[in-house]
């Protein structure tokens, strides 16, 4: 654990570096949004499974496992065809967003005199992949995740609770090419 003097030196360094502050704040926003989406994925699986022990099914599951579980449950006919198609699209967007999230959360951020980068391990060749990182892109990912949160909660509300669909200004998350999902 860092000593008090070390912590204060790190705090002063962080406060003196506006680029690092901006990236850290954007990363925090994006991570908070991703956690909210993951929460709604847990709730969706629990509601689809039903029963008082449904929470045991999702215990320790991460986003990809939750998405896999939702797909398996839906594939056996647990919901209407319309609901299944909508969830397939939401799940596709979630997988894209979580892949990007993982790069930023599990990578190492390198800040130098040039552009900031995220370095991640390349599991195929054992090397290091380098990806540019910008605060604005992190905020955009956070906004995409907020859209997915709305879509998940609305899917549950409409298809599992039977309420009419609502429209919201953040209803569609862009796909990989950056096109709106609507």
* 128 DSSP β-pair partners: 121
Asked whether residue 116 carries a pLDDT value surpassing 90, the answer given is: no
pLDDT, tens only, 49-103:
999 999 998 999 999 999 999 999 999 999 999 999 999 999 999 999 999 999 9
pLDDT for position 96: 98
Q: How far is Cα 114 from Cα 35, in angstroms, rounded to an integer?
A: 31
Q: How far is Cα 173 from Cα 150, in angstroms, rounded to an integer?
A: 10
pTM for the full predicted model: 0.83
Domain boundaries defined on the chain = 4-93+135-160
Most confidently predicted of 60-69, 101-110, 126-135: 60-69
User: 139-160 as b/e, with b when 16 or more CB fall inside 10 Å?
Assistant: bbbbbbbbbbbbbbbbbbebbb
Confidence class of residue 169 from pLDDT cuts 50, 70 and 90? low
Which is nearest to 40 in space by CA: 134, 160, 128?
A: 160
Backbone angles phi, psi at 165, to 5 degrees: -70, 145
Burial class (CB in 10 A: 0-12, 13-18, 19+), 129: middle
Q: How far is Cα 38 from Cα 63, in angstroms, rounded to an integer?
A: 6
């Amino acid at each position: 654990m860092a000593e008090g003097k070390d912590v204060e030196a790190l705090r002063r360094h962080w406060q003196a570096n506006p680029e690092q502050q901006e990236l850290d704040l954007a990363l925090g926003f994006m991570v908070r949004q991703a956690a909210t989406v993951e929460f709604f994925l847990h709730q969706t699986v629990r509601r689809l499974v039903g029963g008082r022990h449904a929470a045991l099914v999702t215990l320790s599951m991460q986003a990809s496992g939750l998405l896999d579980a939702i797909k398996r449950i839906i594939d056996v006919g647990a919901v209407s065809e319309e609901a299944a198609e909508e969830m397939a699209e939401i799940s596709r967007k979630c997988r894209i967003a979580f892949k990007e999230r993982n790069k930023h959360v599990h990578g190492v951020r390198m800040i130098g005199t040039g552009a900031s980068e995220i370095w991640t391990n390349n599991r195929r060749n054992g090397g290091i992949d380098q990806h540019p990182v910008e605060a604005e892109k992190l905020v955009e990912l956070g906004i995409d995740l907020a859209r997915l949160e709305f879509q998940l909660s609305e899917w549950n509300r409409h298809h599992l609770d039977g309420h009419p669909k609502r429209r919201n200004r953040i209803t569609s998350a862009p796909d990989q090419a950056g096109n709106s999902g609507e």
